[in-house]
Amino acid sequence: MAKITQIDILRHGLPEGDNCLRGHTDFVLTEQGFEQMKMAIENLNELDCVVSSSLQRCSSFADFIAQKFTINALHSDSWREMNFGDWDGLTRQQLVEQLGDDIDHYWHDPWHVCEDGTAPHNGETLEQFDIRIKRAWQALLTQYKGQKILLVTHSGVMRQLLRLLLEMPRNTTYLHRIHLPYAARMRITVYHDDQQDWPQLQWPPFCD
């Protein structure tokens, strides 16, 4: 009989630092954001483990849920948002003032890298981010195969996962057409059979 792994993926709620490029900047979760996350998973009744980005806008809620279910919470750097380097923590207005048209050029082609292979912001390239999330996903399935997991992470991570699992092309379309509000939740059910993993996006996430 095939094993089934169920992963509920939850974006953090409203953190501090609104209207800026948060990336790896470690903003705390607001009370409103905490309540948003509680409401998003209020029908989740069974869990084996919680895995979370190590940034506190995710990990603080992960610890709360782990305590509620009397299970372990794993904080992992692998599930952090994309690292925007020099741009981390800047508001949109600051980015426009400092970079001018360059910021628009980046958002129109975020897969583009500089001649030396680095990202223009000296953080992660989108390809490096893509590879990181792919490896984190594979490690998650290996470690927690057959279990029910809550993964608490970021919107950029969730978009990248959808790109990988739904085999979307490497362009900007998916980045602009997938809207994930605070405390957005989706479920991926993975069927393990014939030495392969068969992921399925389940929508809405609370329906069996």
81 in active site: yes
Q: Is 57 annotated as a binding residue?
A: yes
Give me the residue label for tokens 């990181």. Answer: 132
Q: Report d(CA 60, CA 48) in Å as an integer.
A: 18
3-202: CATH number: 3.40.50.1240
Catalytic residue among 24, 75, 81, 124: 81
Compute the distance between CA of residue 136 and CA of residue 79 in angstroms, rounded to an integer: 7
The answer to whether residue 105 is catalytic is no
Quote the pLDDT of residue 116: 79
Model pLDDT for residues 59-99, shown as the tens digit of each residue: 999 999 999 999 999 999 999 999 999 999 999 899 999 98
Q: Say if residues 193 and 16 touch (Cβ distance below 8 Å).
A: no
pLDDT tens-digit profile of 20-45? 999 999 999 999 999 999 999 999 99
How would you label 52-69 residue by residue, b for 16+ Cβ within 10 Å and e otherwise?
bbbbbbbbbbbbbbbeeb
pLDDT at 178 exceeding the cut of 60: yes
Q: Does the structure show a pLDDT above 90 at 6?
A: yes
